[in-house]
Amino acid sequence: MKALILALGWLIRNSSLVLIGILSSPGLPLGSEVVSPRNPQTGTAGEVRNSSKLPGTAQTAPEENRSFAAGTRNITIYPSAAAGKSGRKIYAGHVGLGYYVIDNLSINLEGVGYGIDQDNDTGAVGLDLLPRWHYMRAADWSLYLDGGAGIIYSNNRLGESGTHFNFTLQGGLGVTYHLTGNLIPITGLRWFHISNARIQGKDRNVGFDSPMFYLGLMKPF
């Protein structure tokens, strides 16, 4: 009986020390657990372990941006403007569908409607094939190179001695910004060229060369 009383006294004493250690430990974060009590002889605090994470839960890693991943598609819509040395000005609206063949590299097919400001103003339609490579990426922006070739057909001739049918070449660089996961503003500058490749002779090849600025939106899906 005496041994039982001594054991109970030892248990009560040490339990009290554990409780005192918990209550007197300053600055413990919410959910912290004292693994060992404060040593009453040395005053050394016990080990503290953070147990704020609920059992069975896992911390979620930031979601990786997959807008430019292989297999992703996108729709791109943007207006553009260009002005050549001849005084001819070109305004266009572009609607494109793109597919990422590998990460960061897409092939884009764009339909284009043109308004050409010249002596005999004219409208035109075109089709362009444009690869685009996002060569530098961060969490919410990218820098890219794009360029390609296409065809254009105008109601009136391009220039007084030109042709209705012509080819286009273009290339440049641009930037994207991830406004949201599904809406990406884009802007860039390209060198834009129109000519008929002398298919009807040199005298009827009225060329056009100019920087072209554009600003629009890309939507991946």
**Domain total of the chain:** 2
Regarding whether 211 and 103 lie in a shared domain, the answer is yes
Regarding whether 80 and 45 lie in a shared domain, the answer is no
In a domain, 150, yes or no: yes
For residues 166 and 208, state if they share a domain.
yes
Amino acid identity at 30:
L
Structural domain contains residue 96: yes
Same structural domain, 80 and 16: no
Query: How confident is the model at residue 24, as a pLDDT?
Result: 53
pLDDT digits (tens, 9 = 90+) for 73-130: 999 999 999 998 878 899 999 999 999 999 999 999 999 999 999 988 999 999 999 9
Which residue range is the domain that position 15 belongs to?
Answer: 2-50
Q: For residue 171, tell me if it sits in a domain.
A: yes
Buried b (16+ CB within 10 A) or exposed e, 57-66: eeeeeeeebe
Q: What is the pLDDT of residue 69?
A: 96
Based on the fold, state whether residues 199 and 108 are members of the same structural domain: yes
Cα separation values, 164 from 92, 153, 167, 199, 203, Å: 17, 5, 10, 12, 14
- DSSP assignments along 24-63, one per residue: H-TTPPTTEEESS---TTT-PPPPEEE--SPTT--PPPPP
What pLDDT, on the 0 to 100 scale, is given for residue 42?
53
- Same domain as 129, residue 39: no
In a domain, 58, yes or no: no
CA distance 174 to 190: 8
Is there a domain that residue 98 lies in?
A: yes
Q: 33 and 128, same structural domain?
A: no
Structure confidence at residue 68 (pLDDT): 95
Give pLDDT < 70 ranges for the chain. Answer: 1-64
Domain-located, residue 62: no
pLDDT at 115: 98
Same domain assignment for residues 36 and 102: no
